[in-house]
Amino acid sequence: MNDVVMRLSGVTKAYNAGLPNEVNVLRGCDVTLNTGEVVALVAPSGSGKSTLLHIAGLLDVADAGSVEISGQAMNGLSDRRRTIVRRQDVGFVYQFHHLLPEFTALENVVLPQLANGVSSGDASARAMDLLGKVGVAERADHRPAELSGGEQQRVAFCRALANAPKVLLADEPTGNLDPGTSDTVFEALMELVRSTGMSALIATHNLELAKRMDRVLRMRDGILVEDAG
């Protein structure tokens, strides 16, 4: 049996709680993510998938329920401890790359490692290795404005994986790209995740991409339902 790297149990979240316009976004979501598993999260816009990812990644706090990473309960941790866990164990990828425009592709992947105490030489070596895995090593000295949309997103993938997190959380990582580029970039992401052996929870509207992952979870009225295998 695979080890569980992340578990969400009974997670609920409401906005404007107690007010007439209260919105119950998550109504008791359960997610189990095993080591090395890539899981698709399929849901329409506004359904709560981003909220779920933010809670899983310790960027937001659930109203009820629990979050565990590698068997450690995240509930009740101080903000400082949550920040440390998030920086070391969780990687994030968004629809837009959010690269720092004044730095090169290489520097964008190096900086998170320096913040985590890695030496400059080791950080540069790992950054080049990751950039090579997604086919943009030759663009390492280019700034984001000099890269194509697909190249920018591949660099963003490398940045998210720079500190070797246990879990990658991706929110519509190819949603900002045209269909042809989306497919190429998704393949690069999958190869990168598979080669590192990490786990990933990837939100997408694209059902064809979702089917290429290990499992598919769908958000329905604030509850997660798994597709039959």
Residue 161 DSSP one-character state: H
- pLDDT on residue 1: 44
Other Cβ atoms closer than 10 A to 149: 16
User: Where does the pLDDT of residue 2 fall: very low under 50, low under 70, confident under 90, or very high at 90 and above?
Assistant: low
* Distance between CA atoms of residues 218 and 161, nearest Å: 25
Other Cβ atoms closer than 10 A to 23: 13
Residues 174, 202 contacting (CB under 8 angstroms)? no
* Distance between CA atoms of residues 169 and 200, nearest Å: 6
Q: Above pLDDT 70, what percent of the chain?
A: 97
Q: What is the pLDDT of residues 4-16, one digit of tens each?
A: 899 999 999 998 7
* pTM metric for this prediction: 0.87
User: Where does the pLDDT of residue 100 fall: very low under 50, low under 70, confident under 90, or very high at 90 and above?
Assistant: very high
Average pLDDT over residues 205-219: 88
User: Where does the pLDDT of residue 36 fall: very low under 50, low under 70, confident under 90, or very high at 90 and above?
Assistant: confident
- pLDDT on residue 123: 95
Q: Which residues are CB-neighbours of 152 under 8 A, at least 6 positions away? A: 97, 99, 144
- Does residue 78 carry a pLDDT above 60? yes
Instruction: Look at 1-5, 86-90, 141-145 and tell me which has the smallest mean pLDDT.
Output: 1-5
Other Cβ atoms closer than 10 A to 79: 8
Average pLDDT over residues 208-229: 85
* Distance between CA atoms of residues 228 and 35, nearest Å: 21
* Distance between CA atoms of residues 43 and 206, nearest Å: 10
